[in-house]
């Protein structure tokens, strides 16, 4: 049985959740660096019998204009200390917070005795002498190093979106695709990828190939994710797809006509179908 997580949309948390362990950060990728922080927090949870903010309960605060103007010392005194009454604060060494990212680990350490909390900041993980962070993983994705990014995420990088009606160009060249609205996702390097697909969160996993980009051969202006699902037939309009990226096959390219594009697609398909 999965324990239900208590979710707060602001810092007005109930008394039962105050005086807890609080993990502070923008956990947008849950990469290996974040996972190290969570594992250490779990040890403190067991030792001191405290709740953990983010895991046992979640504070999902929208980063709006008003919130962005809070000075770092005010965040510590008014939110961490007064509202949350945190006992332990867990952050990564490269964590920045407050107006114009002025606050850092040194400031959190300075306020420990004043605000009656203990700061825990594990040594940062590094890969090839670079700190593992969400920024580093985005850089890997944008440069086509999908395999390395997936290792640091400990899962396949994924885009979820609804299938929309497109220009039907894929169908016209004998290669029908689903067009997905990718919203505000971080964009990996434009090109062709081997992928796995889950439809409407069902358990069945399909294999496929995807093109992420602007389709220069057809003068597409908006970035688009097109997915061809192997061995599937049916109407997927308005269905939600979860697309897991397995392998970067090649970068985006403008072709000299439909025949050249069709021949390249056949080569791409051969690689995608061999990808595990």
Tell me, what's the pLDDT at 33?
A: 83
> Where do the domains of the chain lie?
6-125, 156-274
- Checking if the pLDDT of 219 tops 60, the result is yes
Q: What is the mean pLDDT of residues 100-129?
A: 89
pTM above 0.85, yes or no: no
Q: What is the mean pLDDT of residues 155-184?
A: 82
Encode pLDDT of 13-49 as tens digits. Answer: 989 999 999 988 777 667 888 888 888 888 999 998 9
168: confidence class by pLDDT, cuts 50, 70, 90 = low
**Percent of the chain predicted with pLDDT > 70:** 93
Mean pLDDT of the chain: 88
pLDDT-based confidence at residue 3 (cuts at 50, 70, 90): low
CA distances from 97 to 74, 117, 248 (A): 11, 17, 34
> pLDDT (tens digit, 9 = 90+) per residue, 50-83?
888 874 767 777 778 888 899 999 999 999 999 9
CB 103 within 8 A of CB 96: yes
Question: Higher model confidence: residue 126 or residue 242?
Answer: 242
Answer whether residue 95 shows pLDDT above 50. yes
pLDDT at 188 (0 to 100): 92
Q: Which of 58-72, 105-119, 189-203 has the lowest mean pLDDT?
A: 58-72
Instruction: Please give the pLDDT value at position 74.
Output: 95
pLDDT for 172 equals 66
Residue 1's pLDDT band (cuts 50, 70, 90) = very low
Residue that has been written with the tokens 């105050």 in this structure? 18
From residue 169, how far is each of 166, 172, 175, 176, 177 by CA, in Å?
Answer: 8, 5, 8, 8, 9
Residue 211 in tokens: 């093109």
Cβ-contact 155, 241 below 8 angstroms: no
Query: Per mean pLDDT, which range of 78-87, 135-144, 183-192, 227-236 is the poorest?
Result: 183-192
pLDDT at 169: 65
CATH code for the structural domain at 156-274:
2.40.30.30
156-274 shares the fold of 6-125: no
- Band (pLDDT 50/70/90 cuts) for residue 207 is very high
Of 212, 215, 209, nearest in space to 190 by CA: 212
Is CATH 3.90.1150.10 correct for 6-125?
no
SS3 per residue for the chain: CCCCCEEECCCCCCHHHCCCEEECCCCCCCCHHHHHHHHHHHHHHHHHCCCEECCCEEECCCCCHHHHCCCHHHHHHHHHHHHCCCCEEECCCCCCECHHHCECHHHHHHCHHHHCCEEECCCCCEECCEECCHHHHHHHHHCCCHHHHHHHHCCCCEEEEEEECCCCHHHHCCCCCEEECCCCCCCCCCEEEEEEEEECCCCCEEEEEEEEECCHHHCCCCCEEEEEECCCCCCCCCCEEEEEEEEEEEECCCCCCHHHHHHHHHHHHHHHHHCC
Q: What distance, in Å, lies between the first and last C-alpha atoms of the chain?
A: 32
């Amino acid at each position: 049985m999965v324990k239900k997580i208590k979710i707060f949309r602001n810092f007005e948390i109930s008394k039962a959740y105050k005086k807890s362990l609080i993990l502070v950060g923008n956990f947008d990728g849950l990469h290996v660096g974040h996972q190290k922080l969570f594992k250490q927090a779990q040890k403190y949870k067991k030792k001191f019998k405290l709740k953990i903010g983010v895991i046992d309960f979640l504070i999902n605060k929208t980063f709006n204009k008003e919130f962005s103007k809070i000075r770092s010392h005010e965040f510590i005194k008014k939110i961490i200390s007064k509202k949350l009454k945190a006992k332990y604060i867990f952050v990564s060494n490269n964590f920045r917070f407050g107006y114009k990212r002025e606050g850092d680990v040194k400031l959190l350490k300075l306020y420990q005795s004043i605000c009656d909390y203990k700061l825990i900041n594990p040594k940062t993980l590094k890969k090839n002498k670079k700190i593992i962070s969400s920024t580093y993983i985005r850089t890997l994705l944008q440069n086509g190093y999908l395999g390395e990014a997936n290792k640091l995420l400990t899962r396949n990088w994924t885009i979820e979106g609804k299938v929309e009606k497109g220009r039907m160009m894929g169908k016209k060249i004998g290669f029908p695709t689903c067009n997905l609205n990718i919203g505000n996702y971080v964009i990996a390097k434009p090109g062709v990828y081997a992928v796995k697909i889950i439809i409407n969160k069902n358990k069945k996993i399909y294999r496929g190939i995807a093109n992420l980009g602007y389709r220069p051969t057809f003068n597409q202006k908006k970035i688009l994710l097109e997915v061809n699902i192997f061995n599937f037939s049916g109407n997927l309009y308005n269905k939600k797809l979860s697309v897991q990226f397995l392998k970067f096959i090649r970068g985006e390219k403008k072709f000299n006509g439909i025949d050249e594009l069709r021949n390249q697609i056949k080569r791409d398909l051969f690689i995608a179908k061999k990808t595990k």
